[in-house]
């Protein structure tokens, strides 16, 4: 593709025609202002920018990197600085082109005093795209008000191995859930006028042994059928305007250095016409980590040819090294022209070419009641009740409660790796969080004012110190019920138990937390375990016997404690479902419920990989029946089918079911998963209430990569079922796809629509 093939406005063409080489290169780099020694990006401590800001911006600038998210700065004061800097770029650079300001926004805007929402794995547990879309718009509104134009989210990596440290940044192990919820976030953010950046394209989560930055050995079928679909949905259905490359090397080819993914698939196959930005330092990594480029200049050339348009966060390769290659004739200026046109088109689309920057904001509420209301709803919907012998909800007569565990009285334990608190404020312990985030202990005391609550830590999240366990046991023995709050502490690169660079070999709870739970349970006091983590852990030992109930929550954010307390008391009911399988052991990894017959247990192996709880599992405080699944058919392989199922609340209190429609291709030309989610819908029902849920599902939901490498839908028999998880076939039906094999095109849809008819039924 040449620069003449890129569709841009006449204004952009004329602006580009006036540019010198230096001015062009300036548009292709970012500058990380005020970067100190805080390790808030991979190897950033070794790569602090050395060039002076004024020197770098003499010819303009492509991006300003993390203006708000590097240090705790007062947002309004920082906004005034930013408006002045943008005005300076307009007035003092020859062409007067402002910079795009980008920022992290995975659990909310990464800025001091901004709302912190649940981590993406909690989004997946909620199974509620509409609520995620609402959250995305709120985050986008905050960003746009502060002069931020591009958000580095969502993460659309499909979970493949729970040992990987970045699991909490992902949405689910199912590409359809990742795609629908990720697309909703994109739509919300971009409705607010902020460009979403899909990451990490592609394959990052499939790293060898769950290690960060490790090689990926995925075949093309896994890439096409599991790893790519969420990105395709977010681009085709969500209209995402930016993509960030993966650090991964797939079968020996770094994604950032080959056109196979960033050009052939992204642009030629899918028609993406936005901008590709590098993950931080990814261009230079082609030289220093992948060893496929002799120096940073050669790495810049490889990246441009692959399809990367902008180097972030600085110009380590795209600035001086690339300028030298252009001057010597080693790099064709046409490669640079192509990228510059895309960047200028993005700036025009964002309104930057007309922005005057004369009125910075004078006041802003980054954590408004509306932010907190959405944060609470999402946190509550994401709590998964794994098991319950009746101890939950707590009886109103409960008068003494022992609240125990390292995460019971910790606000930081409620937030993910990319929250501002754990990402940045961890380096500034003297700075307050800047927003309210009560601990679970605080929330339980507020929720249950009539109960006497005593607290003992018992042990730390990490380490082997057991000296606090006897006091915890004594507290539990004297209480009517013990609530033990355990789990993770999110951080980066060895600081914490989960998060970027914090990969693990074991999936046992960190430290001696299991010993703490077992010691408390041995007292005979009824025990509720609340697990606050960024990944699923092996918990089979806690799911029976003396432990009465287990609640799993994935870093639920600023309102997470209030949501958990309301669920414990029964004022609210749990409705989350597992977005990842609950592992049997670390040795069973990598694992996905999307496995063919040979990927499960059998008589020809002594190892059972069956998860403790399957994908989609989650209990409520009521019960549901799912009956009479009816499927219209037969239908052509290139068409769509309609499925209807009756769902009835058979319990004595209101509750929410997540209706899950699964499919299995009975016989196919290649091996297919034994279960595959093709549609889902949250349904709230009063006691005795019945609804009919109708799904319209494109047959493209059943597509796979055939033997010739094309994505196809084959004619044949399809088994369908609805159940409480992927593993239980409560209501079943058969579908026949007819006709010839259908080859997928851009016209094939992927998102199934749900319609709900309500009737009142007697139980």
Catalytic center residues: 213, 279
Q: Which of 662, 643, 636 is nearest to 714 (CA)?
A: 636
Q: Which of 668, 746, 744 is nearest to 711 (CA)?
A: 744
Render 55-81 in DSSP notation, one character per residue.
HHTBTB-SEEE-TTTSS---HHHHHHH
What are the C-alpha distances in Å from 676 to residues 122, 180, 620, 737?
21, 15, 23, 16
Give the integer Cα–Cα distance in Å for 54 and 158: 41
Give the integer Cα–Cα distance in Å for 382 and 579: 10
Give the integer Cα–Cα distance in Å for 741 and 636: 9
**H-helix or E-strand spanning residue 642:** strand 640-649
C-beta of residue 578 within 8 angstroms of C-beta of residue 459: no
Nearest 5°: the CA angle 272, 277, 279 is 130
Q: Whats the size of the chain, residue-wise? A: 763
Give the integer Cα–Cα distance in Å for 193 and 187: 10
Taking residue 746's Cβ as centre, other Cβ atoms within 10 Å add up to 9
End-to-end CA distance of the chain: 64
What are the C-alpha distances in Å from 241 to residues 306, 343, 505, 665?
18, 11, 37, 34
Extract the tokens encoding 600. 């499960």
C-beta of residue 62 within 8 angstroms of C-beta of residue 52: no
* Strand ranges inside 183-337, DSSP E: 195-201, 242-245, 249-250, 253-254, 275-277
Give the integer Cα–Cα distance in Å for 623 and 438: 32
**H-helix or E-strand spanning residue 756:** strand 753-760
Instruction: Label residue 449 exposed, middle or buried (CB < 10 Å: 0-12, 13-18, 19+).
Output: exposed
Cis peptide before 699, with omega less than 30 degrees from 0? no
Extract the tokens encoding 130. 């509409």
Locus of tokens 């951080």: 491
The number of helix segments (H) and strand segments (E) in the chain equals: 20, 27
Give the integer Cα–Cα distance in Å for 558 and 260: 41
Give the integer Cα–Cα distance in Å for 245 and 299: 14
Instruction: Label residue 121 exposed, middle or buried (CB < 10 Å: 0-12, 13-18, 19+).
Output: buried
C-beta of residue 672 within 8 angstroms of C-beta of residue 720: no
> Where are the alpha helices (H) located in 127-276, listed in sequence order?
129-145, 175-191, 220-222, 229-236, 259
Give the integer Cα–Cα distance in Å for 3 and 12: 12
For helices 296-306 and 333-349, angle between their N-to-C axes, nearest 10 degrees: 60
Give the integer Cα–Cα distance in Å for 432 and 442: 18
């Amino acid at each position: 593709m040449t620069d003449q093939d890129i569709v841009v406005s006449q204004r952009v063409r004329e602006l580009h025609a006036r540019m010198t080489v230096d001015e062009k290169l300036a548009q292709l780099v970012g500058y990380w202002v005020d970067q100190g020694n805080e390790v808030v990006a991979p190897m950033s401590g070794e790569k602090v920018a050395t060039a002076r800001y004024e020197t770098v911006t003499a010819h303009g600038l492509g991006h300003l990197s993390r203006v708000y998210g590097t240090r705790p700065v007062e947002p309004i004061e920082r906004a005034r600085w930013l408006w002045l800097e943008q005005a300076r770029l307009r007035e003092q650079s020859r062409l007067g082109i402002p910079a795009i300001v980008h920022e992290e926004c995975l659990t909310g805007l990464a800025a001091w005093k901004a709302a912190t929402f649940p981590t993406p794995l909690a989004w997946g547990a909620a199974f509620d795209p509409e609520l995620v879309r609402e959250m995305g718009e709120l985050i986008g509104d905050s960003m746009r008000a502060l002069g931020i134009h591009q958000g580095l989210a969502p993460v659309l990596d499909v979970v493949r191995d729970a040992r990987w440290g970045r699991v909490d940044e992902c949405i689910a192990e199912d590409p359809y859930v990742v795609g629908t919820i990720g697309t909703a976030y994109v739509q919300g953010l971009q409705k607010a006028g902020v460009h979403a950046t899909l990451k990490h394209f592609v394959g990052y989560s499939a790293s060898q042994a769950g290690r960060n930055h490790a090689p990926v050995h995925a075949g093309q079928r896994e890439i096409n059928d599991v790893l790519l679909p969420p990105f395709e949905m977010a681009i085709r259905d969500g209209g995402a305007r930016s993509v960030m490359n993966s650090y991964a090397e797939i079968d020996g080819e770094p994604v950032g250095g080959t056109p196979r993914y960033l050009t052939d698939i992204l642009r030629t196959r899918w028609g993406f016409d936005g901008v590709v930005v590098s993950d931080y330092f990814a261009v230079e990594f082609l030289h220093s980590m992948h060893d496929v480029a002799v120096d940073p200049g050669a790495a810049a050339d490889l990246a441009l040819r692959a399809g990367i348009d902008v180097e972030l966060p600085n110009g380590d390769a795209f600035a001086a090294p690339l300028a030298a290659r252009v001057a010597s004739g080693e790099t064709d200026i046409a490669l640079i022209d192509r990228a510059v046109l895309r960047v200028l088109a993005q700036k025009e689309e964002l309104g930057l070419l007309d922005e005057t920057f004369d009125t910075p904001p004078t006041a802003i509420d980054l954590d408004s009641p509306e932010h907190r209301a959405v944060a609470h709803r999402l946190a509550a919907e994401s709590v998964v009740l794994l098991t319950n012998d009746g101890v939950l909800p707590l009886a109103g007569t409960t008068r003494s409660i022992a609240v125990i565990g390292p995460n019971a009285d910790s606000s930081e334990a409620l937030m993910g790796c990319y929250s501002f608190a754990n990402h940045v404020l961890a380096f500034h312990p003297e700075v307050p969080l800047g927003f309210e985030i009560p601990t679970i202990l605080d929330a339980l005391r507020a929720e249950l004012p009539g109960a006497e609550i005593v607290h003992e830590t018992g042990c730390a999240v990490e380490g082997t110190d057991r000296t606090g366990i006897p006091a915890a046991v004594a507290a539990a023995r004297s209480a009517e019920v013990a609530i033990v709050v355990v789990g993770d502490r999110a951080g980066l690169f060895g600081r914490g138990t989960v998060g970027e660079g914090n990969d693990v070999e074991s999936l046992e709870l960190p430290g001696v937390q299991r010993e703490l739970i077992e010691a408390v349970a041995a007292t005979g006091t009824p025990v509720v375990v609340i697990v606050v983590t960024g990944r699923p852990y092996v918990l089979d030992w806690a799911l029976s016997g003396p432990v009465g109930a287990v609640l799993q929550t994935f870093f639920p954010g600023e309102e997470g404690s209030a949501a958990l307390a309301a669920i414990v008391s029964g004022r609210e009911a749990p409705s989350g479902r597992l977005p990842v399988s609950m592992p049997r052991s670390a040795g069973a990894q990598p694992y996905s419920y999307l496995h063919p017959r040979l990927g499960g247990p059998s008589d020809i192996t002594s190892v059972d990989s069956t998860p403790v709880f399957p994908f989609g599992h989650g209990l409520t405080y009521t019960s549901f029946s799912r009956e009479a699944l009816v499927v219209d058919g037969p239908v052509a392989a290139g068409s769509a089918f309609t499925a209807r199922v009756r769902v009835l609340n058979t319990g004595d209190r209101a509750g929410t079911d997540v209706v899950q429609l699964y499919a299995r291709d009975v016989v196919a030309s290649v091996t297919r998963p034994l279960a595959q989610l093709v549609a889902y819908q949250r349904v709230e029902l009063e006691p005795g209430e019945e609804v009919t849920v109708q799904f319209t599902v494109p047959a493209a939901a059943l597509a796979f990569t055939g033997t010739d490498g094309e994505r196809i839908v084959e004619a044949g028999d399809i088994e369908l079922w609805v159940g409480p998880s992927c593993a239980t076939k409560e209501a079943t039906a058969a579908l026949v796809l007819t006709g010839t094999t259908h080859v997928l095109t851009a016209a094939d849809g992927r998102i199934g629509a749900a319609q709900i008819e309500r009737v009142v039924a007697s139980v």
